[in-house]
Amino acid sequence: MNDDIIVAIATSRLEAAISIIRLSGKNSIAFVQQFFTGKILDKDSHTITYGYIKDNNEKIDEVLVNIYRGKKTFTGEEMVEINCHGGVYITQKVLNLCLKKGARMAERGEFSKRAFLNGRIDLSQAEAISDLITAKNDYATSLALNGIQGHISHFIEDLREDLIQIITQIEVNIDYPEYDDVEELTADSLLPRSELLRHKMKRIIESSKNVHLLKDGISTVIIGKPNVGKSSLLNALLNEEKAIVTDIAGTTRDVVEGTIRLDNLILNMIDTAGIRETDDIVENIGVHKSKELIHKADLVILVIDGSQPLTQEDKELIELSQDTQRIIVINKKDQGQINYIDGIPISAKDNDIEPLIEKIKSMFELGQITSGQDDILANARQIQLLEQASQSLNNAIEAMKNQIPTDLIVTDLYESWENLKEILGERAKEDLLDELFKRFCIGK
């Protein structure tokens, strides 16, 4: 960590009643004292002082200055926050004065990065700060708050404690083999403990993946043969003319995307090209993309024209999507329905889609996130690392069952341990940190 004093506007850059300019770094308080009329050098930490920001003899603004001393600040180093009037011009003028006096403009997420590097927060807490700022619904907000409060850190530490007990028992046996029979040790103690730990990891992974549908949105693909009303359904859900709607089959030749909110659910909608056999090269590319998306989606909405008999193309789509999380929609109920398949009748053209919306809500009502809920990881990076930890543990368990020597088993257990450490950033590489923190906003 260098001794640079970094500075940034920590509030919105729009006009407001108050703007906050945040500084952090060694001797930040003495730095601000150069151009602040209030006396802050001898003040206690977490105090507010009234005065003026001055450039030479010119008063720039009337402000309140908060000072934070020692290592118990957000960044783990001295910090100052200048509360000035919220005009864009005034705020920028105070910022420019700080830069002129020698502070450096903070990079995106640099305050949080310093907090991590100074040991004030771990990487899961840093990610939770960013998640809270970008939260799109109550689920995401609750999950982020849990992360900031250290909930992820606590249950990962519990997993590590379980794992280290297994490793310690093996290491003792390696150093003092006369105390325990290896076969008996594995069957009576190591294997049951390891399988219980694997079960804990699996439960966390599954819960985390489910909740992420609520946090980040449900990838939803609308499929069907051409001219069944897929684009009309997308427009009805989005409440806008996002897709081109015509009576000409094959109008949609590529994917069309949009996002909708159903209470606390977010649907990332994709309207695909109509799936049919075609000699049109461009349309054929769209059909190929549509088939690929079916098995990548969290939810597949299969649209069938209820005013027409079921075709071979319809049957193929029913078969193609049968192993997915699927809702079959019978469209064009305003034109009369032929009752040949179970599905939800709608009229996309008339915006009569409420039964479909209720069905989606019921399918993905996974429950409100609360502080007492199951242990949940916050993002794909954390889930992937826990999956790797679980796989290494699984390799160790298989080795135990096959009575592999314990000194070989412990290698897989140490690999699992390292993946758990990486979730909290204890061995994070600099390029990973740069990538993570550059996604933050400036001033955080």
CB neighbours of residue 419 within 10 Å = 19
Number of structural domains in the chain: 3
Q: What single string gives the DSSP state of each residue in 228-262?
A: SSHHHHHHHHHTS--S---SSTT---S-EEEEEEE
What's the domain range around 249? 216-363
User: Cβ(231)–Cβ(271) under 8 Å?
Assistant: yes
pLDDT number for residue 103: 96
pLDDT number for residue 243: 37
Helix (H, G, I), strand (E, B) or coil at 312: helix
Between these two residues, 245 and 351, which has the higher pLDDT value?
351
Residue 164: strand pairing partners: none
Q: Average per-residue pLDDT in the chain?
A: 82
Confidence band of 186 (pLDDT split at 50, 70, 90): low
Calculate mean pLDDT across residues 401-428. 86
- Highest averaged pLDDT of the listed ranges 33-42, 112-121, 408-417: 33-42
Q: Which of 121, 140, 161 is the last residue of a domain?
A: 121
Q: Which CATH number fits the domain that encloses residue 254?
A: 3.40.50.300
- Highest averaged pLDDT of the listed ranges 47-61, 292-306, 334-348, 370-384: 47-61
Residues 207 and 221 in one domain: no
pLDDT number for residue 253: 38
Kind of pairing between the strands at 18-24 and 6-9: antiparallel
pLDDT number for residue 371: 40
Spatial separation of the C-alpha atoms in residues 266 and 255, rounded to whole Å: 19
pLDDT number for residue 114: 93
CA distances from 215 to 143, 155, 290 (A): 8, 20, 25
Lowest mean pLDDT among 126-130, 220-224, 327-331, 404-408: 404-408
pLDDT number for residue 231: 82
In a domain, 77, yes or no: yes
Residues 208 and 292 in one domain: no
In a domain, 223, yes or no: yes
In a domain, 442, yes or no: no
Confidence band of 184 (pLDDT split at 50, 70, 90): low
Residues 243 and 104 in one domain: no
Confidence band of 242 (pLDDT split at 50, 70, 90): very low
Q: Which of 306, 329, 363 is the last residue of a domain?
A: 363
Calculate mean pLDDT across residues 140-154. 87
Spatial separation of the C-alpha atoms in residues 19 and 443, rounded to whole Å: 12
User: Cβ(337)–Cβ(330) under 8 Å?
Assistant: yes
Calculate mean pLDDT across residues 107-125. 91
In a domain, 354, yes or no: yes
Encoded tokens for 267: 């649907």
Residues 113 and 137 in one domain: no
Angle at 102 between CA 96 and CA 108, to 5 degrees: 70
Give the tens place of pLDDT for each residue, 352-372. 989 998 898 888 765 544 444
DSSP 8-state class, residue 324: S
Give the tens place of pLDDT for each residue, 313-344. 888 888 888 888 899 999 988 887 766 678 89
User: Cβ(126)–Cβ(111) under 8 Å?
Assistant: no
pLDDT number for residue 373: 54
Confidence band of 12 (pLDDT split at 50, 70, 90): confident
Residues 144 and 264 in one domain: no
